[in-house]
Chain A
Amino acid sequence: MSFQSKRKFTAFWVYFFLLLIGIMFFLPTLWLILSSFNATANMSIKWPKPWTIENFVYIIQKDGMLQGFGNSLIIAASVTAIADAVSILASYPLSRFKTKWGSNVSLALLFLTALPSSAMMISTYKLLINFHMIDSLLGVILLMSAGTTPYSIWMMKNFMDTVSVDLEEAAWIDGASRGQSVIHVLIPLMLPGFFTTTTYNFIGAWGNFYIPFIMLSDADKFPASVNIYRLYGMHGEVIYGQVAAYSILYIVPIFILYYFSQNYMSQGFNMGGASKG
């Protein structure tokens, strides 16, 4: 085989493999989509006959189901706001005042991020009991924020590192204060990094299952993730189509969020933010 045709041959198999992987990754989701439009869905994959939005209509009328999305939103938005705010503050000295001490803090944060946080589920449960925050959204929000913050600081710091200090210094010469230079120079320039961190925090908090599952017991406070577990895991008959419809409604918002931020996300990853050691 000549060099040219060998190259084409390889390219063919690479495309074939990538296409196959793409399809294989999609197949589990296909069942979810088809079932959500099928009133008589079960565990098998079936083309809906007829297509119907009945499942969606019924499930959102069920007790606590819409409330679940509200609770998920409250949790995810609060966690994102808290984690963003505290991490942008904390990352500034880590990025701007390069000290031995600061780099040790960064490494310690990474160490914390890497620990299996589910190992703390019992002692955090006990902690929330002591703080009278068990079975409260506030407790869940604070726990999740604390779990998210170390990695969030670390991402923000790396993104901040990519913005040269010279630009800030130029603003200082023009008479800007440190605070003004942060707001008018630093933050606009690290916006891709900021969006990446925000999206990352939001997706994590929106989808979190185990913290609310363990810490909440009042059905009025359950986020959508715990609702799905209960719809599906409770004994008795599971109405698969309705659970699928609820799941679709649960995925769509973060999917839209990801779709709009994906350019920022890939820019963010490219900035070397997350890839630096």
Chain B
Amino acid sequence: MGEKHLLEKRRAVLSILLMAPAAVLIGVFYLYPMIMTVYYAFTNLTLTGAQATDTQFVGFRNFLNLFRDPKFPLIMKNTIVFLVFSGIIGQQVFAFILASLMKKRNVHIRRFTGFMVVLGWVTPEIIAAYMFSAYFNDKGTLNSILRFFGIHRVSWMFTYPMLSVIIANIWKGTAYSMLMFQAALDGISDEIVESAKIDGANGWQILSKITLPMIKGTTATTFIMVTLGTLGAFGMIYAFTGGGPSNKTTTLSVYMYTQAFGAFQVGYGTAIALILLLIGAVLSGLYLKAIKANQD
């Protein structure tokens, strides 16, 4: 029993004490509901009425119903399209391009564009949804601009509902990725880039051999935060289109809500929730693996 052992023991006690409040909060209001989601997905849960106290196990019935649901393929497709175009291509790639272009440019333009992009981030999603339904309205701002250029009015919300939702979400989400990339790019010293240039490296080589490897950590973090944030996006889509017209913008999150709270199919809703969680857990796990590989 050395002094080192005693120190370790004291540290362990202190750690537990300091982490207890967070652990209780997260445990009760985050982990427990997560575990219950797994359980409820196999029951005929209802939230009110007689059945609420008499929840029965129904096996895979909710999942069988879900896979037989004629809307399910469309909803999966919508979720993936929304995720890829709004989360990955829209927010990430676009934010990276913006951050790279802003690097070492005139401070005024950097400030102007940066400020406008951040506007989307601080704006609450409900206002964003409201603003964009005006923006894409038949008589809205976008059609006024198009008319100025002599282009005929387009019924955006009816003809391209998914595109409208994707654009609205890019507007809302780009700032976060942009700020992260800006911070990471600022951390790359000019000397490295300059000396690579002297050695004859071209723009593409600098990007692929220097810039991207150096911001690997940020890219991984941003990627997972944004992708999974987009997977779970609910308020923006629900308030903007309600999932319509004719389910064209219904993603898994929106469908879960309408089934559980609109159609009172609560068990069915949790089955959808579980699928969302599983997709999230797989993506998140892949990401952690990538981070661990980086650390070693």
Which residues of A are at the interface with B, using a C-beta cutoff of 8 A? 11, 14-15, 17-19, 21-23, 25-32, 35, 42-45, 82, 85-87, 89-90, 92-94, 97, 102, 105, 107, 110-127, 129, 142-143, 145-147, 149-150, 153, 203, 206-210, 213-214, 224-226, 228-229, 232-233, 240, 243, 247, 250-251, 254-255, 258, 262, 265-266, 269-270, 272, 274-277
Contacts and interface: CB of A to CB of B under 8 A. Distances in A.
A89 B21 CA distance: 8
B2 to A, nearest CB: 18
Q: Which has the most chain B C-beta neighbours within 10 Å: A11, A19, A29, A35?
A: A29
Nearest to B174: A25
Contacts of A228: 126-127, 130
Nearest to B142: A27
Contacts of A240: 134
19 contacts: A18-B110, A18-B113, A21-B98, A29-B123, A31-B140, A44-B144, A110-B291, A115-B284, A121-B260, A142-B25, A145-B25, A147-B29, A228-B130, A233-B239, A251-B122, A251-B123, A266-B183, A275-B217, A277-B218
Interface string B12-32: 001100110111011011111
Contact of B34 (A115, A213, A250, A272): A115
A122 B40 contact: yes
Interface residues of B, number: 106
B32 A127 contact: yes
B233 to A, nearest CB: 8
A15 B184 contact: no
Specify the main secondary structure of chain B where it touches its partner. helix
A43 B257 CA distance: 28
Interface of B: 11, 14-15, 18-19, 21-23, 25-26, 28-34, 36-37, 40, 45, 47, 98, 101-102, 105-106, 109-110, 112-113, 115-128, 130-135, 137, 139-141, 144-145, 171, 179-180, 182-184, 186-187, 215-218, 220-221, 224-225, 228-229, 231-235, 238-239, 253, 256-257, 260-261, 266, 269-270, 273-274, 276-277, 279-281, 283-285, 287-288, 291-292, 294-295
Nearest to B23: A90
Nearest to B272: A119
Specify the main secondary structure of chain A where it touches its partner. helix
A73 B107 CA distance: 34
A19 B11 contact: no
A116 B276 contact: yes
Contacts of A210: 234-235, 238
Contacts of B21: 85-86, 89-90
A244 to B, nearest CB: 8
